[in-house]
């Protein structure tokens, strides 16, 4: 089958995260029709996660191309660039306070960024409640996307923007994410200035992190007077059930955590002891390094679906840069196949280089930094 022109191709993006929505927005800016399919039943079905920092040289670049950079800066929090590196007693080892005009990587809540992107799309672009089972059809097309409800759709190009455990990835690659040996537990704190003033003072307007070589805590200020804390440990992926606990046994998990962090000071232990609601278990996975596949003109990947790495502040930024470059390749190519070749020629080497740098990044999250060096990382994968 001859590869169609992008303007006449049936393009389906799987996943309505930052990468998928950025790609859809830029395609529509260039007059290329696209449909986004997402597993969630509606946009408000679940919390989109904590805050992320969008860098001037990738995430912000993509938003400029999408015509959304002014909207982003209206919702962004430059003060969120504040970073405190603490020791287990709560003493500050290093403290970065952003300058008034510092905009290299301002923070924004994932939900707010998603809304900005969603509201920029043509009505009906996103088809909710479309969980993908698999992608079938011949490599030269057309492809058929099979949904869990038994329905299908025929496409000329499937773009996998569906994250760590992508259902599109098997159409081009047998690679599967592997557990890194490091897990996060996420804890939420609401109305922090009133209900958790000591924690609010400890964390400041941005982030605060501490590690002792075996475990770590990372706290992030979100908008809406909200803080998220990531409790980081080197543990088996199934440690909760292996300990005879369940995910909703908040008291049991808390007791185990307090025992593990028993040498830490009370100000630091409030990140474990005072959370509102249950903990959220988030074991960290990564794809093999490097991850590549044989090029096909009908399927490609972006973001975590293509290059899942430990959460060291690059995931959303790379996903949005991927999305931007893929959309521009489609806008500037004669055929879809030519566009995929152009996009993957740049994306695959770039992601391989980043993945090599971050290959042991999950372990690095636990390292002590007695020199005061600040370890920067972002929210974990879903």
- Residue given tokens 């930024």 in the structure block: 317
Residues 250 and 111 in one domain: no
Residues 106 and 246 in one domain: no
Angle (CA) 85-190-90 rounded to 5° is 25
CA distance 100 to 79: 8
CATH code at position 57: 3.50.50.60
Kind of pairing, strands 143-147 and 152-155? Answer: antiparallel
Residues 125 and 74 in one domain: yes
Q: Evaluate whether 22 touches 66 at the Cβ level (below 8 Å).
A: yes
Q: What is the pLDDT of residue 190?
A: 96
Give the mean pLDDT of the chain: 93
**Residue of 207, 246, 209, 243 whose CA lies nearest to 227:** 207
Cis peptide bond prior to 290, omega within 30° of 0: yes
Residues 291 and 279 in one domain: no
- Provide the residue range defining the domain that includes 214: 180-285
Tell me, yes or no, whether 92 lies in a domain.
Answer: no
* Chain segment 240-281, per-residue pLDDT in tens: 999 999 999 999 999 999 999 999 999 999 999 999 999 999
Q: What is the pLDDT of residue 298?
A: 98
Domain final residue, candidates 285, 309, 344: 285
Residues 233 and 111 in one domain: no
CA distance 350 to 345: 9
**Residue of 122, 137, 170 whose CA lies nearest to 301:** 170
Q: Tell if the pTM clears 0.85, that is, is over it.
A: yes
Query: Who has greater pLDDT, 371 or 316?
Result: 316
- Residue given tokens 């809304």 in the structure block: 115
At residue 356, does pLDDT exceed 50? Answer: yes
* Chain segment 184-197, per-residue pLDDT in tens: 999 999 999 999 99
At residue 370, does pLDDT exceed 70? Answer: no
Q: What letter would DSSP give residue 381?
A: P
CA distance 77 to 202: 18
Confidence grade of residue 172 (pLDDT, cut at 50, 70, 90): very high
Confidence grade of residue 45 (pLDDT, cut at 50, 70, 90): confident
> Radius of gyration of the chain from Cα atoms?
21
Cis peptide bond prior to 142, omega within 30° of 0: yes
Residue 225, marked binder = no
Residue 143, marked binder = no
Tell me, yes or no, whether 371 lies in a domain.
Answer: no
Residues 191 and 261 in one domain: yes
Q: What letter would DSSP give residue 21?
A: H
At residue 107, does pLDDT exceed 50? Answer: yes
- The distance of Cα 266 from the centroid of its chain, to the nearest Å, equals 31
Residues 344 and 291 in one domain: yes
Angle (CA) 223-43-165 rounded to 5° is 95
Residues 25 and 114 in one domain: yes
Tell me, yes or no, whether 162 lies in a domain.
Answer: yes
CATH code at position 278: 3.30.9.30
What are residue 215's DSSP bridge partners? 233
Tell me, yes or no, whether 64 lies in a domain.
Answer: yes
Ordered DSSP codes for 307-321: H----SS-HHHHHHH
Q: What is the pLDDT of residue 369?
A: 63
Residues 155 and 135 in one domain: yes
Structure tokens at 121: 């799309």
Q: What is the pLDDT of residue 200?
A: 96
Ordered DSSP codes for 168-212: SGGGT-----EEEEEEEEEEEE-SHHHH-HHHHHHHTTSEEEEE-
Tell me, yes or no, whether 1 lies in a domain.
Answer: no
* Chain segment 188-238, per-residue pLDDT in tens: 999 999 999 999 999 999 999 999 999 999 999 999 999 999 999 999 999
Residue 140, marked binder = no
Q: How many domains does the chain have?
A: 2
Structure tokens at 212: 């002792």
Query: Who has greater pLDDT, 320 or 365?
Result: 320
How many other C-beta atoms are found inside a 10 Å radius of the C-beta of residue 193?
10
Residues 64 and 172 in one domain: yes
Residues 46 and 71 in one domain: yes
Tell me, yes or no, whether 164 lies in a domain.
Answer: yes
Residue 353, marked binder = no
Domain final residue, candidates 231, 258, 285: 285
Q: What percent of the chain has pLDDT over 90?
A: 85
Q: What is the pLDDT of residue 378?
A: 44
Residues 293 and 220 in one domain: no
Structure tokens at 20: 């998928």
Tell me, yes or no, whether 90 lies in a domain.
Answer: no
Tell me, yes or no, whether 382 lies in a domain.
Answer: no
């Amino acid at each position: 089958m001859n590869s169609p022109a992008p303007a006449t191709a049936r393009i389906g993006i799987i996943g309505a995260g930052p990468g998928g929505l950025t790609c859809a927005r830029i395609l529509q800016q260039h007059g290329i029709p696209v449909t986004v399919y997402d597993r969630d039943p509606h946009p408000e079905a679940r919390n989109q996660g904590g805050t992320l920092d969008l860098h001037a040289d990738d995430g912000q670049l993509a938003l400029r191309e999408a015509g959304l950079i002014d909207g982003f800066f209206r919702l962004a929090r430059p003060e969120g660039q504040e970073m405190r590196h603490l020791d287990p007693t709560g003493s500050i080892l290093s403290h970065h306070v952003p300058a008034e005009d510092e905009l290299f990587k301002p923070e924004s809540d994932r939900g707010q960024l998603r809304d900005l992107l969603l509201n920029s799309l043509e009505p009906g672009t996103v088809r909710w409640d479309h969980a993908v089972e698999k992608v079938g059809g011949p490599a030269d097309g057309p492809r058929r996307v099979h949904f869990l409800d038994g329905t299908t759709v025929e496409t000329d190009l499937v773009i996998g923007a569906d994250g760590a455990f992508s259902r599109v990835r098997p159409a081009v690659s047998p690679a599967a994410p592997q557990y890194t040996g490091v897990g996060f537990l996420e804890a939420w704190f609401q109305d922090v200035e009133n209900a958790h003033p000591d924690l609010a003072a400890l964390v400041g307007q941005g982030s605060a992190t501490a590690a002792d070589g075996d475990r770590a805590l990372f706290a992030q200020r979100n908008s809406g007077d909200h803080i998220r804390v990531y409790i980081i440990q080197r543990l088996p992926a199934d440690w909760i059930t292996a300990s005879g606990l369940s995910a909703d046994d908040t008291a049991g998990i808390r007791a185990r955590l307090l025992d593990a962090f028993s040498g830490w000071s009370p100000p630091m232990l409030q990140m474990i002891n005072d959370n509102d609601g249950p903990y959220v278990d988030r074991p960290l996975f990564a794809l093999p390094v490097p991850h590549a596949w044989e090029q096909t003109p009908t399927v490609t990947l972006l973001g975590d679906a293509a290059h899942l790495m430990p959460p060291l502040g690059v995931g959303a930024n790379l996903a949005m840069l991927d999305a931007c470059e893929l959309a521009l390749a489609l806008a500037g190519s004669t055929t879809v196949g030519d566009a995929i070749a152009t996009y993957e020629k740049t994306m695959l080497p770039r992601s391989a280089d980043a993945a090599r740098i971050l290959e042991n990044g999950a372990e690095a999250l636990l390292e002590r930094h007695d020199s005061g060096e600040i370890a920067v990382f972002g929210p974990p994968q879903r």
